[in-house]
Amino acid sequence: MRLSRTLVAVVLITVALCATGGCSGPRVSLDGTQWKLTEWTLSSLNPADFAITATFAEGRISGNSGVDSYGGPYTLGPDDAFSTGSITSTAMAGPEDAMRAEGAYLTLLGQAKSYKMADDVLTLYDEGGNESLIFGGTGP
């Protein structure tokens, strides 16, 4: 009887830990990584034509959004959840296509809800689980 109570207690603790994200596996940290945008879900603009970058350090994302520098907080959660806080940027003018690319990038970044990092590729996904931004690594 005592063994079964102990077993039940262990199972209940394990279930509680998994329910709070403790069993989702090791989370890959983005801190200390740098990326260049290589693909996105927009078909009218090629991200390779613009210098769009993302650097992650100490809970903040920053980089170049095509014309301006940008920055703000980001958060990782259980099950590869990803979100950004309020993103601020400089207010420079640039070519019309670069300004459109910047607007699109910042919109997609704000809509990102999860991420995956593998083989020097960082992919951000929208709320529906669709790939939205794909970055290639540029080193630590």
Options 3.40.50.620, 1.10.3470.10, 2.40.128.270, 1.10.8.60; CATH of 28-139: 2.40.128.270
pLDDT tens digits for range 64-109: 999 999 999 999 999 999 999 999 999 888 999 999 999 999 999 9
* Number of Cβ atoms within 10 Å of the Cβ of 41: 12
17 vs 93 pLDDT, higher one:
93
| Overall pTM surpassing 0.85 (yes/no) | no
Summarize the confidence of residues 35-40 as an average pLDDT.
95
Q: Report the distance separating Cα 5 and Cα 39, nearest Å.
A: 54
